[in-house]
Amino acid sequence: MTPIWEIAALSLKVSLWAVACSLPVGIACAWVLARCRFPGKILLDGLVHLPLVTPPVVVGYLLLIVLGRNGWLGRLFHDWFGVTFTFTWKGAAVAAAVMAFPLMVRAIRLGIESVDRRLEEAARTLGATPVRSLFTVTLPLAAPGLLTGALLAFARCLGEFGATITFVSNVPGQTRTLPLAIYTLLQTPEGETAAAWLAGVSLALAVVALAASELAARAVRKRLH
């Protein structure tokens, strides 16, 4: 069995990359949903939140169809960039990012909606472009929501299981994150003790992430006010 610290390190690596790569897309989606009106907005909102109501195994299977070696997008990444998602930590990061994406977008959207539109309009009357207004007014004021969204997504990524095992299997050192390692140990004779240790590590990491989310959000709110 892989040492506990290696499993924890892999879980942190997968979760950090998942959040880092999905955060720009999450901010863009949250801003569009919070500030724009267009035909199909309800459809976009539904698609963003689809992983919340879809069984993780189904999400993993869809990722396998699209990003697997025989999937059209997976083949494109492999041929053009030499990147393979199946049976690798990169695929585990993609699965975790997809499952955590709705939580991230929802928190960031609430943060953006809490910003007074009149402040954005004032910035534009002073010559700021919409993009500059976004980065100098909206996002700084919505920082508590951004931090909360990122850390909630990180905690969700740490606990991802169903989509990961379906999409990238359970490969030691590559895709066997904390939840998958616990599952493996529970199927192994006399593995309950090690599984309990891993469960404790997983719970501790999740609690730290959630506590950090709350403390960071409070600190930013205090600074802004």
Cβ neighbours for 123, distance < 8 A, ≥ 6 positions apart = 132, 133, 136, 137
Q: How many CB atoms lie within 10 A of CB 134?
A: 20
pLDDT tens digits along 68-81: 988 889 999 998 99
> Quick one: pLDDT at residue 225?
63
Mean pLDDT of all residues in the chain? 91
Residue 111: what are its φ and ψ, rounded to 5°?
-65, -40
**CATH number, domain 4-224:** 1.10.3720.10
Per-residue pLDDT band for 62 (boundaries 50, 70, 90) equals very high
Ordered alpha helix ranges (H), the chain = 4-35, 41-53, 56-67, 72-81, 89-113, 117-125, 130-133, 139-141, 143-158, 162-168, 178-186, 192-224
Per-residue pLDDT band for 205 (boundaries 50, 70, 90) equals confident
Q: What is the per-residue DSSP string for 41-94? A: HHHHHHHHHHHHHS-HHHHHHHHHHHHSTTSHHHHHHHHHH----TTSHHHHHH
pLDDT at 4 over 90: no
Q: Whole-prediction pTM value?
A: 0.90
> Quick one: pLDDT at residue 157?
95
- Candidate from 128-132, 147-151, 165-169 with smallest mean pLDDT: 128-132
Domain ranges of the chain: 4-224
> Quick one: pLDDT at residue 126?
87
Q: What average pLDDT does range 139-163 have in this prediction?
A: 92
Per-residue pLDDT band for 51 (boundaries 50, 70, 90) equals very high
> Quick one: pLDDT at residue 175?
93
C-alpha angle 49/54/60, rounded to 5°?
105
Q: What average pLDDT does range 4-13 have in this prediction?
A: 92
Is the separation of the CB atoms in 1 and 171 below 8 Å? no
pLDDT tens digits along 85-114: 999 999 999 999 999 999 999 999 999 998
